[in-house]
Amino acid sequence: MITTIYEAEVLEAYHQNLKKFSRLDHIEVVAVPDCKTPPAVFERAQSLCDRGLKVHCPTLEEQEVFLRSVGFPPELVPFDSDNRRNVGYLLALASGTDFLISIDDDNYCMEEEDIFGQHAVVCAEAAEHTVTASATGFFNICSLLEFEKPAPVYPRGFPYFARHKEENPLLARESVAVRMNAGLWTLDPDVDAITWLVTLPRVKSFKGTSIVLARDTWSPVNTQNTALARNAIPAYYFIKMGYPIAGMPIDRYGDILSGYFAQACVKHLGGAVRVGTPIAEHRRNSHNYLKDAANELACILLLEELLPWLRELRLSGVTFSDAYASLSFEIEAAVERFRGGLWTDPTRGYFHQVAYYMRSWLSACRQILGS
């Protein structure tokens, strides 16, 4: 699944990769256009279909009809926003897919990596993996990468309270069922704008070992090279941004919040999160890092308070849908207890809105699944 406002050249690389590893018959690409998406994307989609890669590229009108058909109000998915990913996720769920792969339009698959095969780990039975536990409760996935300039680098969404501390990771071989897989990147890592402004990191290579997070160990998970098992999709609503928090705009962390929330459900249900392969070559689109920093700050501050609470939270339910519903109600209760400069009535109102959207999303997922 991909959203784009560019010409989706990246799909040519995926076509070559899927063809090389004989995966063309195993996959359907959902390319979700937005208001700014050029007509060339539709032409490319047709060209790829003619060459054996199934690509579904619905028009804005077709997207609206689909959302209404599954009971998800189209107005809950704003235009000109990365929130359009939700359309693709629901389309993938409705297609009957075994698992979902979410990619960004600037993440190019590596020629030598079987991207489908690596991400398919989320459908596998429990198997032996290298599992890591961190003394801080958070594992720095950037430690799996080799950088051009030695410096402490942390992924976007990694809490600041857990940075620059000794993680003392403990490795063990355990049998686990992976239900969420986060692929890493070469060239441009996914770090926050503050890190871009201060460090300007560049990734030379992946060190070569994928790891699984222990149940008490967490990491941010984005949407740019990530896979989930089909039954976990109902816990993967992309959180709506664009709301002022204590006078600051909130943006660019919808995927980070959705990743943490899905991770909570995966852990609750006894599944695991794997990090490492497949590696993507991240040829990052142009960014204004000062503007990005201004838009990210409110979310950074919110995570400092949300994540300690989320780590201790005990959900209920025996399915991903039930666990995610439980999480939505727990969020509403928790924000009423939080105190401090960020926790104004409008901030609490925002999270009540988020919880409502989560349940609206669940309703659509349940309608698709017939439950």
| Alpha carbons 9 and 134: distance in angstroms, whole number | 39
Q: Which residues of 281-308 are buried (b: 16+ CB within 10 A; e: fewer)?
A: bbeeeeeebeebbebbbbbbbbbebbbe
- Phi and psi at residue 226, in whole multiples of 5°? -135, 145
Confidence of residue 363 (pLDDT cuts 50, 70, 90): very high
pLDDT higher than threshold 90 for residue 338: yes
Cα maximum dimension of the chain: 57
| Alpha carbons 147 and 187: distance in angstroms, whole number | 9
Report pLDDT digits (tens) over 263-296.
999 999 999 999 999 999 999 999 999 999 999 9
Instruction: Write down the domain spans for the chain.
Output: 2-369
For residue 328, give both structure tokens.
């939505």
| Alpha carbons 340 and 138: distance in angstroms, whole number | 24
**Mean pLDDT, to the nearest integer, of 43-61?**
98
Query: Distances from the Cα of 295 to the Cαs of 253, 291, 334, 357, 358, in angstroms?
Result: 9, 6, 24, 21, 22
**Mean pLDDT, to the nearest integer, of 146-158?**
95
pLDDT higher than threshold 80 for residue 57: yes
> Looking at the whole model, is its pTM more than 0.95?
yes
**Mean pLDDT, to the nearest integer, of 173-191?**
98
How many residues in the chain? 371
Report pLDDT digits (tens) over 79-138.
999 999 999 999 999 999 999 999 999 999 999 999 999 999 999 999 999 999 999 999
For residue 32, give both structure tokens.
């979700």
| Alpha carbons 58 and 260: distance in angstroms, whole number | 29
| Alpha carbons 109 and 115: distance in angstroms, whole number | 7
CB 239 within 8 A of CB 258: yes
- Relative to beta strand 54-56, strand 211-213 is unpaired
Confidence of residue 178 (pLDDT cuts 50, 70, 90): very high
| Alpha carbons 67 and 73: distance in angstroms, whole number | 6
Confidence of residue 56 (pLDDT cuts 50, 70, 90): very high
Q: Which residues of 9-48 are buried (b: 16+ CB within 10 A; e: fewer)?
A: ebbbbbbebbeeeebbeeeebbbbbbeebeeebbebbeeb
CB 342 within 8 A of CB 246: yes
pLDDT higher than threshold 90 for residue 371: no
